[in-house]
Amino acid sequence: MPKIEISYKDLCALVGKRIPLGELKENVLLQVKAEFEGAEKKGSDVRLRLSMADTNRPDLWSTEGIARVLRGHYGKGGMPRYTMKKSGVVVKTDLKVKKVRPYTVCAVVRGLKLTEEALAQSIQLQEKVAGTFGRGRRDVAIGIYDLSRIKSPIYFTAAKPDALSFVPLGFNDKLTLREILKQHQKGKEFGGLLAGASEYPVFVDSDDSVLSMPPVINSEHTGKVTTATRDVFIECSGFDLRRLKVALNVVALALADRGGQLESVDVFIEGKKLVAPDLEPKEAFVTLGYVNELSGLKLSAKELTSLLKKQQYDVQPKGASLRVTYVPYRQDIMHMRDVAEDAIIAYGLENLEPIMPKMPTRGSLLPMGRFTHRLEELLVGLGLQQFASYTLTNKHFLFDRMRVSHAPVAEIANAQSENWSCFRSWLLPSALEFLAANRHVDYPQKIFEVGDAVVLDESKDTKTRDVCKLVIAITDTSVSYEHIASLLDAFMKNLGLAYALKRSQHNSYIEGRTAEIIVGGASLGYIGEVHPEVLNNWGLEKPAVAMEIDAEKLFALMK
């Protein structure tokens, strides 16, 4: 959770209301999902230390973002709107940055009158957004510059490590790009993000003045922003354009809330023009019945509308639903449950009354739960070791490494990492990933997992369904189909089930050493020797055999 420090006096000034400190600490901070961690009196002001509980809301990680929500809480509700002019500034992206840092979005804010506190908040916000939301500057790096020292057009290009030099922020002498990575503190800290690159990304203006080397450091000449700075140029660079747009909106609008005039920048990427920032509002739908069922409240449509306006939504009736319009920097609204959560927060979590169940009951395992426990005990008895793996994975692991064609899977809309971007649809990749991570452990390795896979199902509210599956994998210096087939035989006999093996083909297994497991005419899964190419893809040097069974189908047959 990001931890930030803000000024109590500055917050009240931005909200436009003096909020009693006790009220702020006890109740009001809950509106922005903040936890009060301490306070320190400094002269006539109080410094507040906060822990921000929502890592999907970078817009809340500053005094400006908190004040924006609290203004709605104290009466000025609805979606905040900003006017945006054209800056005339143009940024041209060179194809040379495609491999090292392919995208950038930019903005201009003019007419600023920055105080020391406003400047400190801007720096803190950049660090938190790039460090947490931007995954340590890998996905998002942010630079703010004194626009008066920059001549448009600006070029986002790449240069050889020793071909370009500039004075980095905080230094007096010029250093080459290579020297910056070795000698500057930020170069030592973030230089690893450029490891292996033959050229490093740089922003350069039309006077050949270097603005920065992202994601490392700005230049002393253009990148030093002070209280005397009136107009700023903002750039966000990285690999995910959607995340960059969110980060740019967050940083630029925080400065706009300080009285600056927001202006757009034309960014050309591979010849296509992109106008940023993108302030196009987003839309979602929610029903009154859903909110009341989820919260246990009995809100009227008028009351729900009022609560949502406090949370910066514009609300319009749309049949049996409410259409809500919200700010473009929110990227955490994926389901009407998220809108309902905002309404409940506006109502006040402290105002919800807990309801005791009328009929206390003893908890117990569901029948499927008891069955999976039985399977686990049986497999341990057969000499296998149980492992547990993550449900989140990525398409490369699910398909490419397994030699199978890509198929639709449940993906994460706002994935924080390419490694954890979708839900697994089967378990064998997880078993091979586990074996690959344990190559240093003694052989033979005999493992199993009983766990959930996620499949698409349009009939469900979430459009997905969990399916319980069982995977077994064995790897050793010498292991073959007979080893896994004998294990399957012992497994089925212990369950009292008759089965048949039907010669089949599966791209993850060796042809001619693969079979389909049939019970009662139903196919439960596959068994076989893992294909050498699959082993090579996972870095496994010893042969492996495996089988995967649909545990829910097995349970239905047992019943």
pLDDT digits (tens, 9 = 90+) for 196-220: 899 999 999 999 999 999 999 999 9
| Residue pLDDT, tens place only, 325-344 | 999 999 889 889 999 999 99
Chain-wide mean pLDDT for the chain? Answer: 92
What letters, b where the CB count within 10 A reaches 16 and e where it falls short, cover 539-549? ebeebbbbbbb
pLDDT score for 219: 95
For 76-119, where are the E strands, in sequence order? Answer: 84-93, 103-110
pLDDT (0 to 100) of residue 181: 94
Answer yes or no: pTM beyond 0.85.
Answer: no
> What pLDDT sits at residue 240?
87
Q: What percent of the chain has pLDDT over 90?
A: 78
Tell me the pLDDT band of 135, cut-offs 50, 70 and 90. confident
Structure confidence at residue 462 (pLDDT): 85
Look at 25-39, 59-73, 169-183, 483-497 and tell me which has the smallest mean pLDDT.
25-39
Residue 343 CA to its chain's centroid (Å): 23
Most confident residue range from 135-139, 140-144, 458-462: 140-144
Structure tokens at 309: 């306006």
CA 425/CA 69 separation, integer angstroms: 39
Predicted local confidence at residue 337, as pLDDT:
93
Residues 311, 69 contacting (CB under 8 angstroms): yes
The pLDDT value recorded for residue 558 is 83
Distance separating alpha carbons of residues 401 and 133, to the nearest angstrom: 29
pLDDT at 351 over 90: no
Nearest-angstrom CA–CA distance, 125 and 251: 7
Three-state DSSP state, 283: strand
CA atoms within 13 A on the CB side of 285: 6
Share of the chain above pLDDT 70, in %: 100
pLDDT of res. 111? 96
State how far the Cα of 247 lies from the Cα of 549, in Å rounded to an integer. 44
379 neighbors 387 (Cβ within 8 angstroms): no
Q: What is the DSSP letter of 70?
A: H
Q: What token pair was written down for 166?
A: 């500039």
Q: Where are the beta strands (DSSP E) in 421-504?
A: 422-423, 445-456, 464-475, 500-503
pLDDT at 416 over 80: no
DSSP annotation string for 146-178: EGGG--SSEEEEEE-TTT-EE-BTT-SS-EEHH
For helices 241-256 and 63-73, give the axis angle rounded to 10 degrees.
70
| Overall average pLDDT of the 452-456 stretch | 95
For 171, 428, 429, 431, 438, the CA distances from 541, given in Å and listed in that order, are: 50, 17, 16, 15, 12
Edge-first strand listing for the sheet containing 45-52: 3-7, 45-52, 34-42
In angstroms, the CA 315 to CA 546 distance is: 54
Q: Mind giving me the DSSP string for 201-251?
A: EEEE-TT--EEEETTTEEBTTTS---TT---EEEEEEES-HHHHHHHHHHH
Q: How confident is the model at residue 291 (pLDDT cuts 50, 70, 90)?
A: very high
What's 521's DSSP letter?
T
Cβ burial of 165 (10 Å; 0-12, 13-18, 19+) is: middle
Residue 364 has pLDDT above 90, yes or no: no
Q: Domains in the chain, start-ordered, CATH in brackets?
A: 3-73 (3.30.56.10), 84-276 (3.50.40.10), 282-347 (3.30.56.10), 367-558 (3.30.930.10)
Tens digits of per-residue pLDDT, 458-480?
Answer: 988 888 999 999 999 999 999 99
Q: For 62-113, what is each residue's pLDDT tens digit?
A: 999 999 999 988 887 899 999 999 999 999 999 999 989 999 999 999 999 9
Q: Kindly tell me if the per-residue pLDDT of 435 is higher than 90.
A: yes
Whether 145 has a pLDDT exceeding 90, the answer reads: yes
**Among 514, 449, 451, residue whose Cα is nearest residue 484:** 514
Q: Please name the residues in contact with 167: beta carbons below 8 A apart, sequence gap of 6 or more.
A: 173, 174, 175, 219, 220, 221
pLDDT, position 559: 72
- Which tokens is 282 given? 């987003």
Q: Is the pLDDT of residue 271 over 80?
A: yes
- Asked whether 117 and 42 are in contact (CB, 8 A), the reply is no
For the chain, how far is it from start to end, CA to CA, in angstroms?
A: 46
Query: Around Cβ 385, how many Cβ atoms within 10 Å?
Result: 11
Q: With bands split at pLDDT 50, 70 and 90, how would you rate the model's confidence at 310?
A: very high
CA 19 from chain centre, in angstroms, equals: 33
Mean pLDDT of 507-514: 95
Length of the chain: 559
pLDDT at 544 over 90: yes
pLDDT of 1 > 80? The answer is no
State yes or no: pLDDT of 530 exceeds 90. Answer: yes
Residue 350: which pLDDT band, with cuts at 50, 70 and 90? confident
pLDDT at 414 over 90: no
Q: CA-CA distance, 126 to 120, in Å (whole number)?
A: 10
Among the listed ranges 304-308, 413-417, 447-451, which one has the minimum average pLDDT value?
413-417
The span from the CA of 49 to the CA of 140, in Å, is 25
User: Distance between CA atoms of 167 and 183, rounded to whole angstroms?
Assistant: 12
- pLDDT-derived band at 386 (thresholds 50, 70, 90) equals very high
Average pLDDT of the residues in 233-248: 93
State phi, psi for 385 to the nearest 5 degrees.
-105, 130
Helix (H) and strand (E) counts for the chain? 16, 27
